[in-house]
Structure 1
Amino acid sequence: MTRPRILIAATPTPNGDLHVGHLAGPYLVGDIYARYLRAAGAPVTWTTITDDSQTYVVASAARKGTSPARLAAASTAAIERTLRGLAIELTRGTEQLLPPVDARYREAVTEFVAALHAAGRLRERTVRLPYAEQSGRHLYDGLLTGGCPACGAGSNGGACEDCGTPNNYDELRDPRSTLDPQEPVSIREERILVLPMEEYRAELEAHFAEVTPRWRPHPKQLIEQLLSRPLPDIPVTVPGGWGVPAPFAPTAGQIVYPWVEAMPASMYATWWANGQDPALPYDHYWRAEQGAELVFLHGFDNTYHWGLLDLVLLLAHGDRYIRPSANVVNEFYELEHAKFSTSRNHLIRGTELIEEGVPRDVLRFHLALTLPERARTNFTRAELALLTDRQLIAPWRELGDALDAALAGHDGAPLPVSAAAQARVAALAAELRASFEPGAFSVARAAARLSEHLAELREQAAAGTEPGDLLAGLRALLAWSAPILVDTAEAARAAGIDLGLTAGPVPDKIAPFRLPRLPVGPTGFAATPIEASTEAPIEASFEASVNAKAPVEALVQEKDDRS
């Protein structure tokens, strides 16, 4: 029996919409992977949940002149629209893609950390925290900025985006408030609860010895660097008022450190995506006895959190939970050779491109082909048009025309497939299947190979290849591109074409079919976008949602705006 798979994308922070840089990372990759696994017959849960408790929500809300609850609600709605617009198929069969951050969610977080406390895993520590004197706010993570103690680059608290190195408490150089860089900042001692990462060194080293051969070089190098030095304590509680209240008497009035929520949040999201059975505990599907295989998908800047911190949180529960068998880590996707930046308005949202007339199959293909798997890559509108026309749109159109000509006058009877064509299809399947194995996982390589196969089929058609052999290659093209070209795949299924990827011999006969046309106009992008919104433009509707009155019940516990 095939083991069930749980795919978890890094939890998006609801302080704004998703841009193309976000989409080209864990969200599109996870969606393509989940669709591949389903086509191959594997049971899959593919999910994530918004990270509402993050201080970045607090900081962005303050800058926008709204409350964290209003911003989180509006951002979650915008994120859902964007995911749906790109056909990111989280939580199949439900109208809602993202689980609600509700009372049941908060119960899950509380249960998770309370179990660690009851097991004696947490320790009290006195730590030094930056403190904004005038606003009376403890500064950490998104509320704090300064120089990375490892590489010197500008960094927020928690971990450096550039080098990935963690920084806790008072480790940033020249600490300042992100809300008011001129506000005086002092250092205050606070008593908090921590989880000592160093106590799990032996288990960590054993785990990474097993799994990091399947990691990409850059994040693997960071993990090795972190393990080569004393490991930091994980804050479990921190002073603050936005987040889940910490249920411990020694730290009354504090909240659960937002990064600690990721594991119970992901467990809760998995439970929610599987039907929200009230008879099952929130962590049911992550229990070791369920035997699921767990995969995390995230960016390099989250390697410390999703690669190390979250693993320790699982290890601290003993043998209760599964552990990730792989971390699929992407690098930065740049826009015009500079980082996507919401604050500088240097960004493009996926929904913007769709509304401009870029079909989502074309956009998904381009992002899959150019996404930053092992090094930074770059997005431009010009390359989107050029590459997709050269490597997808034009050859697909020409191949469809050639097939129509080859089948003209055919009576519809099954056509023979030669042994040579069967061997070519089997070799293609083996090559593409290897692109989805943990050690060599590469959506970009799969997309490139499909583009090559499309070009090969066009050449075969031009050379007068027998129609049965051509159809066998085309059927493989449609089946293997289905996780990327979702609307084209839907048209193929509607026409009765089998797109399953289960292993088996290539048939020696094939029923004729027509190649479904890509959802584009005759010379490029469609004039009418697919599923264009009838609502106001995304940015306008998002801002309106942020400024609207929030419901009485906030999505997460909110005492005040201080954290």
Structure 2
Amino acid sequence: MNKKAIITSALPYANGEIHLGHVASTYLPADVTTRFLKLNGVEAYYVCASDDFGTPILIQSEKEGKTPTEYVAYWNKRDYEDFSAFNIDFDYFYKTSSSENIAFVQDVFKKLNDSGHIYEKEIIQFYCNNDKKFLPDRYVKGICPYCKAEDQYSDLCESCGRVPDEITDPKCSLCGEPPTKEKTTHYFFRLTNFGDSLSKWLDENDHLQKDVKKYVQNWIKSGLIDWDITRDISWGVPVPLSGANDKVFYGWFDNHLAYISTALKFLADKGIDGKSFWNSADIYHFIGKDIVYHHYLFLPAMRLGINSEYKLPDYIPTRGHLTLQGKKISKSRNWYIGLKQFLEYYPADYLRFYLVSINPYSQDDLNFDWDDFATRINSELIGNLGNFVNRALGFTKKSFDGKVPETTSFDEKDLEAEGKIKNLSNEVGSLLEQNHLDRALKKIMEFSSFFNQYFQHKEPWKLSPGTTNCVFLSVNAARSMAITLFPFLPESSQKIWIQLGLDGNVKDSSWSGASELKILSGHVLGDSFPLFTKVEITDIEKHKKNLGPSK
């Protein structure tokens, strides 16, 4: 395992609140992975930033009577607060509108331009005569020319994931009228220069998902298209060329460069050479499947275009979209759950547990279902995990005054239990290294289930021979669970740690230490208390009724 890592997630757009769909595919998996790496002694940093530029922000800020700067500052702060409430533990959360990112983006552009990867071209762009403005991609909707999906943006089909050369049957998304076409001059990035080198990088990187690589390779074989990287609006990173006529960069040109500029800023503030660290670390970019095109083609091509001055990503964990009660999430139809709203109902660990449980390492979509949520929390988190911790530690407090007893010779069942503890960190860690977070969490739950059965089999309440072994091993199993659960359920893990009477914070443990029997005979436990509270079905019914159009 590389002892350095930089982890990023797709940047949250500073134009609205974070909802469950945002955290499921990108932020939660990245946070779990970062916490795991740190427990393994990796110098790992999770950096992110709000994506501040673009026409939607410009228009919305005008509607609210704010400057774009004021508007994005509000959402930067609000998003960070919501993420923090969910225990997404960024090492640094910055913004694409920072002076550091603006300077970095302009520097990259100059290097690409000097290397012959940029050219100027007169184009015909959609113009809305009704709204009197050129229409950037997000303000033109139509039919995807590739898969024929309707109501798609002109810069990205959310159905097939491709970037259309030109959308079919375009409409202005502001007023619904068909736009006209007018001449303007834009700057283009020669993506077509990089087909072979992109193919080589994809072939040689064994960490990328095979199914994603396959269809990206097919995109390359079918022919790449040069990329229009400028827009005729006022809110963005200015193009640093004379005669650029107040043009700014397209958001997708500048936002992923903030992965690098934010890391450099954070590392510099710590007195670390950022470029050296970046190039010697494992680089992770956690994304949803809708932005594969940008992260597997545009982003690496730009880095290749500046001679890989900053290394390309080692991992791009890509996951599917979250649906809600079987339907696509939609703010306009009130078919969504804001993260802040959810955390007013239930603890963060409930949602973390559920979202990891249902989220495989694939591009398959996953579904948040209120009834399934209640069932899993009540039967698995409470009925299995919470039950074992409460039984093991509560019994020790009651029957042994909270003092871990001396052991005797282990019988066959004890030896099996000891073996489970000694194998846990490797079994769970191996799955986490492969990004199978759901399977890793399931492995911990199987461990808990085994110890529930072990406790039941040994019947320590009868105080027969072998009782002390059961208590000793069960208490140590609870410690093992506290450590291995920490990436997933940080608050609950610390609660177990406190009940075990252990000093400090579970996050300062070592991952491999989870498989050691560190709690010795004579150790005194802390106070025992229930970890979780049951999810009431009456509450679930209320939450379901809150979805959809207001009555």
Tell whether the structures are fold-level matches, with TM greater than 0.5: yes
Q: Which runs of 5+ in 1 are unaligned?
A: 526-563
Q: Give the AA of the match of 1:84.
A: S
From 126, 143, 146, give the equivalent of 2:142. 146
TM-score, length of structure 2 as denominator length = 0.85
Q: Give the AA of the match of 1:14.
A: A
Q: Which residue of 2 aligns with 1:173?
A: 168
Do residues 295 (structure 1) and 284 (structure 2) align?
A: yes
**Deviation at 1:245?**
0.8
Change (3 A) 1:524 1:479: same
Distance in 1, matches of 2:487 and 2:529, equals 16
Change (3 A) 1:462 1:24: same
Q: Which residue of 2 aligns with 1:246?
A: 239
Q: Which residue of 1 aligns with 2:359?
A: 371
Q: Which residue of 1 aligns with 2:90?
A: 90
DSSP 3-state at the match of 1:274: helix
Distance in 1, matches of 2:54 and 2:210, equals 28
Question: Which of structures 1 and 2 has the bigger CA Rg?
Answer: 2
From 298, 307, 310, give the equivalent of 2:299. 310
Do residues 496 (structure 1) and 502 (structure 2) align?
A: yes
Q: Is the 8 A contact 2:325 2:370 kept in 1?
A: no
Change (3 A) 1:209 1:470: same
Q: Is the 8 A contact 2:424 2:515 kept in 1?
A: no
Distance in 1, matches of 2:387 and 2:170, equals 59
Q: Which residue of 2 aligns with 1:229?
A: 222
Do residues 460 (structure 1) and 454 (structure 2) align?
A: yes
Q: Is the 8 A contact 1:333 1:372 kept in 2?
A: no
Q: Give the AA of the match of 1:265.
A: A
Relative contact order higher in (CA < 8 Å, ≥ 6 apart): 1
Q: Is the 8 A contact 1:286 1:322 kept in 2?
A: no
Q: Which residue of 2 aligns with 1:108?
A: 104
DSSP 3-state at the match of 1:112: helix
Distance in 2, matches of 1:116 and 1:332, equals 34
Q: Which runs of 5+ in 2 are unaligned?
A: 459-468, 537-551
From 475, 482, 485, give the equivalent of 2:479. 475
Q: 5 Å matches for 1:27-426?
A: 27-61=27-61, 68-91=68-91, 97-99=93-95, 101-153=97-149, 154-168=151-165, 171-182=166-177, 184-211=178-205, 214-215=208-209, 217=211, 219-274=212-267, 276=269, 285-287=274-276, 290-356=279-345, 358-371=346-359, 373-374=361-362, 375-403=364-392, 404-406=394-396, 408-409=399-400, 411-412=403-404, 419-426=415-422
More deviation, 294-303/123-132? 123-132
Larger helix fraction of residues = 2
Do residues 520 (structure 1) and 532 (structure 2) align?
A: yes
Distance in 1, matches of 2:529 and 2:220, equals 52
Distance in 1, matches of 2:358 and 2:291, equals 21
Q: Which residue of 1 aligns with 2:541?
A: none
DSSP 3-state at the match of 1:167: coil
Percent of residue pairs bearing the same amino acid type: 20
Q: Which residue of 2 aligns with 1:445?
A: 439
Distance in 2, matches of 1:289 and 1:311, equals 15
**Deviation at 1:16?**
0.2
Count of aligned residue pairs for this structure pair: 510
More deviation, 107-116/239-248? 107-116
Q: Is the 8 A contact 1:262 1:310 kept in 2?
A: no
Q: Which residue of 2 aligns with 1:427?
A: 423
Distance in 2, matches of 1:164 and 1:415, equals 60
Distance in 2, matches of 1:108 and 1:414, equals 62
Change (3 A) 1:255 1:449: same
Give me the CA root mean square deviation.
2.8
More deviation, 64-73/449-458? 64-73
DSSP 3-state at the match of 2:106: helix
* Per-residue CA distance 1:384-413 (angstroms, 9 max, x = gap): 211111111122332134212256226446
Q: Is the 8 A contact 2:136 2:231 kept in 1?
A: no
Distance in 2, matches of 1:211 and 1:515, equals 50
More deviation, 13-22/416-425? 416-425
Distance in 1, matches of 2:400 and 2:45, equals 46
* Per-residue CA distance 1:71-103 (angstroms, 9 max, x = gap): 3233222211210110100126xxxx4447333
